[in-house]
Amino acid sequence: MNRHFFYRGLLGCVLSVFVLMPIASAQESPTTKIYWARPGRIGCANLDGSNPQDLLRAGQGWVMSLALDAARGKMYWREYGAGTNMIRCANLDGSNPQDLLRAGQGWIISLTLDTSAGKMYWREKGKIRCANLDGTNPQDLLTGLVSDLVLDTTGGKIYWTEFDVSTDADKIRCANLDGSNPQDLLTGLASVSSLMLDTIGGKMYWRENGWNLRADKFRCANLDGTAPQELVTGFDVGSFRLDTIGGKIYWIKHDSSTGENNFRRANLDGTNVQALVTGLDEIWSVTLDAAGGKIYWREYDSDTQEDKIRHANLDGSNPETLFTKKGSPGIVPIVVFRTEGAESVVAADVNGDGVVNIQDLTWVASRFGRTGPDSADVNGDNVVNIMDLVLVAGALDAEAGGPSED
């Protein structure tokens, strides 16, 4: 039996059980937040948009690649412009900001955390680099014309896209987290961007030929590069996000005839394409809160020069503006961060990466039925069973990592 289908089946059972558990709604928790960045500052608010506040001024530069570390209570970002080009961090409340490291020869891009190993990864002038979370021991791992860095911490892999000068085409590659054993997975691709992973389903997804608007397409393949296929083709595709729990892919579609944008979604296999929210202005960033049943985005009205944070239900219903600020838009994806039930979250983080997400469910499912001391035994009853899966599913709200920037 295919283990990916087995895990998905277990996940479906767990989520059904979880719906019946007497656990407070995430929207009722004052510790559930959204974080964002605007030029020179980082802010947060409650998920309903109440209590928006600036946490810190981040100097004179732009803030990018905002990522949160729940276990350590830290946020990390890269900052550039006005003579700055560095990785910085602070506490989640904005206190104790620190410079961690400055770029060597190029821009720092795609900052990504592996909190279980205490590492951060980024791209810099054709290289993939890493360092400890305190900024010590920076090192080069891989070189090439690299873009779209993605980590699979459970599988111990780095995935990235790279331009191949010899073929004038892109390729998707992977290596171990220490940079060893680099290999080509797919070659001969056209303008690849927005690489994303579904480690439960054993798939990777990407957008291809993004600079040729009539040829835009979503594609997917197995994580080893086999069985590539086209999912949705033939229109101007913008940023996309995966909901691996709900089995959906969401994206922005630009209508060149009206200049408007709208959200669309389809099943992960590309079927059942639906229009969700239509008639939108410039959309700068999108993130999904699958556990809360919401999609969040930043929308900029160039006529009024208003930067808005908005949300809607995952089916597109009930779109609302949470709050509005005057000024130029921020382009950092919004991060949904949940901290309620901190003790349960710590236990449910079975792989120790500081985030409770689908990878923790995968680990518990893979050790289902084992007895005795085990990292997957969340409730400590010396057996890995359905209750451990329920507890991890209940703590999925603690996911804290930010999506990669497009």
Once rounded to an integer, what is the mean pLDDT over residues 33-39?
A: 78
Helix (H/G/I), strand (E/B), else coil: 14:
helix
Q: Give the other-Cβ count within 10 Å of 139's Cβ.
A: 11
CATH architecture of 53-337: 6 Propeller (2.120)
Residues pairing with 185 in the sheet: none
Tens of pLDDT, residues 14-23: 332 222 222 2
* Residue 161, pLDDT above cutoff 80: yes
* Residue 265, pLDDT above cutoff 50: yes
259/149 Cα distance (integer angstroms): 31
* Residue 25, pLDDT above cutoff 50: no
Once rounded to an integer, what is the mean pLDDT over residues 62-72?
A: 79
In the chain the first and final C-alpha atoms are separated, in Å, by 36
Tens of pLDDT, residues 382-391: 677 766 676 6
Angle between helices 386-394 and 358-366 (to 10 degrees): 170
273/94 Cα distance (integer angstroms): 41
At 82, the pLDDT band (50, 70, 90 cuts) reads: low
- Give residue 131's identity as a one-letter amino acid code: A
166/133 Cα distance (integer angstroms): 36
Q: What pLDDT was estimated at residue 223?
A: 96
351/197 Cα distance (integer angstroms): 18
Of 51-55, 213-217, 281-285, highest mean pLDDT = 51-55
Residues pairing with 282 in the sheet: 300
Q: What pLDDT was estimated at residue 182?
A: 95
176/179 Cα distance (integer angstroms): 5
Of 188-197, 277-286, 380-389, highest mean pLDDT = 188-197
Q: What pLDDT was estimated at residue 343?
A: 37
* Residue 227, pLDDT above cutoff 70: yes
DSSP state of 209: -
CA distances from 264 to 118, 131, 234, 237, 261 (A): 37, 38, 14, 10, 10
Residues pairing with 254 in the sheet: 261
Q: What pLDDT was estimated at residue 183?
A: 95
Percent of the chain with pLDDT over 90: 20
Tokens 């949705």 sit on residue = 232
Q: What pLDDT was estimated at residue 241?
A: 85
Angle between helices 358-366 and 3-19 (to 10 degrees): 110
Q: Are 384 and 368 in contact (CB under 8 A)?
A: yes
At 272, the pLDDT band (50, 70, 90 cuts) reads: very high
165/316 Cα distance (integer angstroms): 42
Q: What pLDDT was estimated at residue 337?
A: 57
Dig out the tokens for 63 from the structure. 């803030």
pLDDT top residue among 393 and 67 = 67
Helix (H/G/I), strand (E/B), else coil: 138:
coil
- Give residue 349's identity as a one-letter amino acid code: D
* Among 294, 391, 343, 401, residue whose Cα is nearest residue 15: 391
Tens of pLDDT, residues 115-139: 888 999 998 888 899 999 999 999 9
DSSP state of 224: T
Q: What pLDDT was estimated at residue 215?
A: 56
Dig out the tokens for 179 from the structure. 């940079």
Tens of pLDDT, residues 291-327: 778 888 888 877 888 888 889 999 999 999 988 877 6
- Ranges of each domain in the chain: 1-30+338-406, 53-337
230/401 Cα distance (integer angstroms): 28
Once rounded to an integer, what is the mean pLDDT over residues 262-269?
A: 89
* Average pLDDT value for the chain: 75
Q: Give the other-Cβ count within 10 Å of 363's Cβ.
A: 17
CA distances from 169 to 183, 188, 197 (A): 16, 5, 21
What topology does CATH give the domain 1-30+338-406? Type 1 dockerin domain (1.10.1330)
Tens of pLDDT, residues 338-372: 544 333 344 555 555 555 666 677 777 777 777 66
Q: What pLDDT was estimated at residue 203?
A: 94
Q: What pLDDT was estimated at residue 371?
A: 67
Q: Which strand (E) or helix (H) includes residue 281?
A: none
